Amino acid sequence: MNVLIVGSGGREHAIAASVAKSPRADKIFCAPGNAGIAEYAQCVPIGAMEFDKLRDFAKENAIDLCIVGMDDPLVGGLVDVLEEAGIRTFGPKKNAAILEGSKAFSKDLMKKYNIPTAAYENFTDPKAAVAYLETAKFPIVLKADGLALGKGVLICKDLEEAKAGVKEIMLDKKFGTAGNEMVIEEFMTGREVSVLSFVDGKTIKTMTSAQDHKRAGDGDTGLNTGGMGTFSPSPFYTKEVEEFCEKYVYQATVDAMAAEGRPFKGVIFFGLMLTEDGPKVLEYNARFGDPEAQVVLPRMKNDILEVMEACIDGTLDQVDLQFEDNAAVCVVLASEGYPVSYEKGFPITGLEEFKKHEGYYCFHAGTKFNGDQVVTNGGRVLGVTAKGKDLKEARANAYAATEWVNFKNKYMRRDIGKAIDEA
Ligand code: AMP
Ligand code: GLY
């Protein structure tokens, strides 16, 4: 089977590594890919939003399965373009990817189908938003409706900040058209858990849980980032939490999408908050998490291609999804200054060390080749991942492995997985 993966980050590297393990994989391509993905796949210089070029490439290279990893092309309708051309594709169509593409849509869906989430209102008029805020309780959360690289969420401690937030999102258009509409929602507290799942339009099978660390600095300080590290499973995702979500969240979401005439096929990522009043949905994503995929996929026992084909064919009910009874931790090595400003182009040393150790992975997020040399090419550079028999061992292994690789301005959080100690 010839496979084309669309994307260029650590998530796509983790997907490529899983695909490469499948005995069914023949040629693997990745568009545009990166220096690490090049170990498993032939990287082709086509951008993830160049739909026509991707379709033509898939046709010319007899692609049997295309896997879309990233949110932008999913929300933009790449799956529809490929399927119309007869190319089997893993991922939701545009009318289902809206689950991630519009927060106003997903909040309305949850309200209509009684899926637990924070209380909220949607606004298209900034004046109405401010009027609402004038009598609201603080802190409060403002969210740009559309995709904003994970940065369109503002937690405002008082009216002053919230008014400035409305201006930023709706008037200054800091996140572009993503801010044409806005959700204002109740501030919740609790632990966050990410649960990824495979969905075939009607059946859902959840994967092992994970937890992300979104802030740039130790102790969850500093700016929000794409994710500075993850661990899996989450010790806070108890049997009780799982049973609650199975009853009120997972199947309910899949059924709601089907009932709306938007059957979802692909990965639904549930961002959950475990509040005092029970688990609530913070957000949905329509794809694997990054860096959640880096700790979840290496622990999956199934052939990823078989699972993805079952999602496309509507036969997921016949798949017995299984994960190893161990743990994994991913520590992101970033460029000093991320997520604001940082330098790129520095040589990376020590990557070969990962080949010598079973259960260790170095997923590339922002790298490229400069001649034969792998150099830094982004804010998040590498996701150093290790397995262990439990979370503590996996964390110790991952941090030990962060010492194997070096590049100028290497920065990492030192407390990834610290919450494990409180479990
Ligand atoms: P989202 O993109 O919706 O997941 O939001 C990004 C992050 O903002 C989440 O991971 C939470 O840490 C935080 N957040 C989002 N919504 C809320 C909320 N209603 N209450 C508290 N924190 C929130
Ligand atoms: N790690 C969070 C996300 O992928 O959106």
Residue from 285, 295, 296, 332 to probe ligand 2 pocket by mutation (most atoms less than 8 Å from CB): 285
Compute the distance from residue 293 Cα to the ligand 1 centre, in Å.
Answer: 19
Compute the distance from residue 289 Cα to the ligand 2 centre, in Å.
Answer: 4
Atom of ligand 2 nearest to the CA of 227: 1
Q: How distant, in Å, are the alpha carbons of 115, 126, 161, 307, 356 from that of 173?
A: 30, 12, 16, 40, 48
What pLDDT, in 10s, does the model give residues 231-266?
999 999 999 999 999 999 999 999 999 999 999 999
The predicted pLDDT at position 150 comes to 76
The β-bridge relationship of strands 3-7 and 28-32 is parallel
pLDDT at position 378 over 80: yes
Is the shortest distance between the CB of 153 and ligand 1 below 6 Å? yes
What pLDDT, in 10s, does the model give residues 182-194?
999 999 999 999 9
Compute the distance from residue 10 Cα to the ligand 2 centre, in Å.
Answer: 11
Half-sphere exposure of 148 (CA within 13 A, CB side): 24
Q: pLDDT band for position 419 (50/70/90)?
A: confident
Is the shortest distance between the CB of 119 and ligand 1 below 6 Å? no
In the structure, which protein residues have their CB atom closer than 6 angstroms to any atom of ligand 2? 150, 212, 227, 285, 289-290, 292
Domains of the chain: 2-91 (3.40.50.20), 119-186 (3.30.1490.20), 191-318 (3.30.470.20), 327-422 (3.90.600.10)
Give the type of residue at 254.
V
The residue whose C-alpha atom lies closest to atom 2 belonging to ligand 2 is: 289
Rounded to whole angstroms, the Cα distance separating 203 from 350 reads: 43
What pLDDT, in 10s, does the model give residues 201-219?
999 999 999 999 999 999 9
Atom of ligand 1 nearest to the CA of 189: 21
Contact partners, residue 288, CB within 8 Å, separation at least 6: 11, 14, 15, 69, 196, 267, 269, 296, 297
Nearest to 52 by CA among 84, 30, 89, 8: 84
pLDDT at position 285 over 80: yes
Question: What is the CB neighbour count within 10 angstroms for residue 397?
Answer: 21
H or E element that contains 15:
helix 10-21
For residue 96, give the 3-state DSSP assignment: helix
What pLDDT, in 10s, does the model give residues 130-141?
999 999 999 999
Nearest to 395 by CA among 379, 365, 419, 364: 419
Whether a cis peptide bond, with omega within 30° of 0, leads into 73 is: no
Compute the distance from residue 54 Cα to the ligand 2 centre, in Å.
Answer: 24
Rounded to whole angstroms, the Cα distance separating 248 from 267 reads: 18
pLDDT at position 349 over 80: yes
Query: Is residue 355 a contact partner of residue 362, using CB atoms and an 8 Å limit?
Result: no
The residue whose C-alpha atom lies closest to atom 1 belonging to ligand 1 is: 283
Query: Stretch 351-376: mean pLDDT, rounded?
Result: 96
Rounded to whole angstroms, the Cα distance separating 265 from 251 reads: 13
pLDDT at position 317 over 80: yes
The predicted pLDDT at position 31 comes to 98
Q: pLDDT band for position 386 (50/70/90)?
A: very high
Atom of ligand 1 nearest to the CA of 143: 3
Compute the distance from residue 227 Cα to the ligand 2 centre, in Å.
Answer: 7
Query: Is residue 119 a contact partner of residue 185, using CB atoms and an 8 Å limit?
Result: yes
Q: What is the mean pLDDT of the chain?
A: 97
pLDDT at position 420 over 90: no
CA of 212, nearest ligand number: 2
Tell the residue number behind the tokens 């201006």, with chain if given.
Answer: 167
Nearest to 11 by CA among 332, 237, 319: 332
Compute the distance from residue 139 Cα to the ligand 1 centre, in Å.
Answer: 12
Nearest to 182 by CA among 138, 227, 224, 127: 127
Compute the distance from residue 61 Cα to the ligand 2 centre, in Å.
Answer: 31
Residue from 212, 276, 282 to probe ligand 1 pocket by mutation (most atoms less than 8 Å from CB): 282
Atom of ligand 1 nearest to the CA of 187: 20
Residue from 99, 103, 141, 153 to probe ligand 1 pocket by mutation (most atoms less than 8 Å from CB): 153
Rounded to whole angstroms, the Cα distance separating 396 from 254 reads: 38
Residue from 273, 276, 284 to probe ligand 1 pocket by mutation (most atoms less than 8 Å from CB): 273
What pLDDT, in 10s, does the model give residues 139-158?
999 999 999 887 889 999 99
What pLDDT, in 10s, does the model give residues 84-132?
999 999 999 999 999 999 999 999 999 999 999 999 999 999 999 999 9
The predicted pLDDT at position 251 comes to 98
Compute the distance from residue 210 Cα to the ligand 2 centre, in Å.
Answer: 11
Q: pLDDT band for position 329 (50/70/90)?
A: very high
Query: Stretch 42-47: mean pLDDT, rounded?
Result: 98
The predicted pLDDT at position 151 comes to 81
Query: Stretch 394-417: mean pLDDT, rounded?
Result: 98
pLDDT at position 422 over 90: no
